[in-house]
Structures are given as structure tokens and as C-alpha cells.
Amino acid sequence: MTIQLGQIAPDFEQNSTHGSIRFHNWLGSSWGMLFSHPKNFTPVCTTELGEVAKLRPEWDKRNVKPIGLSVDPVEAHHKWEDDIEETQGAKLDFPMIADPDARVSTLYDMIHPESDPTVTVRSVFVIDPARKVRLILTYPPSTGRNFSEILRTIDSLQLTDARSIATPVNWSPGDPVVISPKLSDEEATRQFPQGYSTLKPYLRIVELEKSGQ
């Protein structure tokens, strides 16, 4: 199955380090970040899981629930948690899905046979409270993820969901944004009374912080 942006994230029920999880119910009214790991007791994954645990205040601030996945069983996950806490200085406080039958990995197309048919690639799925997939990233097994970029993208998604804007290249929170071409100049002036710069009719730049938002 190929997952595409905008579709409803496939639901599943699977065992995890926090017990049995029905994914959609577990998400509740939160955003979710589902991210997979090739297998347990691997060096890059150990650093990634520790980093996600350290970023707990950032996930909470954005109403995001992280959840990991590996094709190993729950017992191995619990043993790995001890290693992660020892080496990374962070205790895992989010679930790790056990997927020894590769059911969830297959459902989310996390196993790429041409890469390695026995392990998952480093997949990331950001899912909104409506259960829609909003971001898909796929890293090779040898490359650790950049969670600063994932947080940046979530910031952009949440901001642009609320306003008729988009975020330009290399945007970070607080930077200028672009006004949707769908808005007329009259409507843009109404929505952004602080004023904006028109570089082209389709490229209008606005500083959101000037409006107190």
C-alpha cells in the first residue's frame, strides 16, 4: 500500500511498550508522529529515540504525540529502552510499537525490498487530528533523522492551517510568510492590516508578528 498526503492514515491495533494500541483512538484530538526504525539495538536509532524523548516539551507545545515502531517484539523494546536511557540520558515516555509480523510496516509501506527486505526504512508520518497524513519523509537506514526539520514542518502545517498563507524556502517560526494567491488584494488587506509587500501579483510577503499574531 502506498500512503499519500491528504489520505486518512491507516488504522491498526498492535502491541506496544504501552500495551495494545488502537492507533486512531490513541491519537485522540492530537497530532501524531509515527516513525519507524530498521531494528532494535542499532546505533543511529538509539540516538534518534533519545532525541525524541528529550524533545518532549516541543511535542507537547504542538499537541503532537510521538510513537515509534520496530519489527522486533515488545520484550526487546523494553530491553532497548534501558540502553537508550543509559547512553542518551533520556527515558522513553512514548510508545514503541512491536511489529514482528511486519503488519504495520507493510500497511505503511515501510519495507522497501530493494533497500532491504528484512528491515524498515526510516519512515516519518505526521498525521493531523482529522487523521490525515500531512508529511511523509523516508530516510535510508544509515542516515539519522533531523527532528528540528520535522518540528519546523509541523510549525508550518499548524500555522498555514490557521491562515491563508504558505511558508517560503528555509522559513523558521517568526520569519515572513507568503500570502495565498487565492486571496484578492482586497481580502489580503483585510486579513493583514499591518501591510504586505507585493513582489509579483502571485508573490506577496507579510510579517505576521506585526499583527500581534
110 vs 203: CA distance, rounded Å = 37
Return all residues near 101 (Cβ < 8 A) that are at least 6 apart: none
Using the 8-state DSSP alphabet, how is residue 173 labeled?
T
Using the 8-state DSSP alphabet, how is residue 80 labeled?
H
Residue 53 has φ and ψ, to the nearest 5°, of -65, -40
Q: Strands, E, within 128-181: which ranges?
A: 133-139, 165-166, 177-179
- The partner residues of 48 in beta bridges, in order of sequence, read none
Ordered DSSP codes for 8-73: BPPP-EE-BTTS-EEHHHHHTTSEEEEEEESSSS-HHHHHHHHHHHHTHHHHHHTTEEEEEEESS-
For residue 143, what are the CA distances in angstroms to 29, 146, 161? 31, 9, 30
Q: Is 136 a known active-site residue?
A: no
Q: Which of 27, 45, 84, 98 is catalytic?
A: 45
Question: Which residues have a catalytic role annotated?
Answer: 45
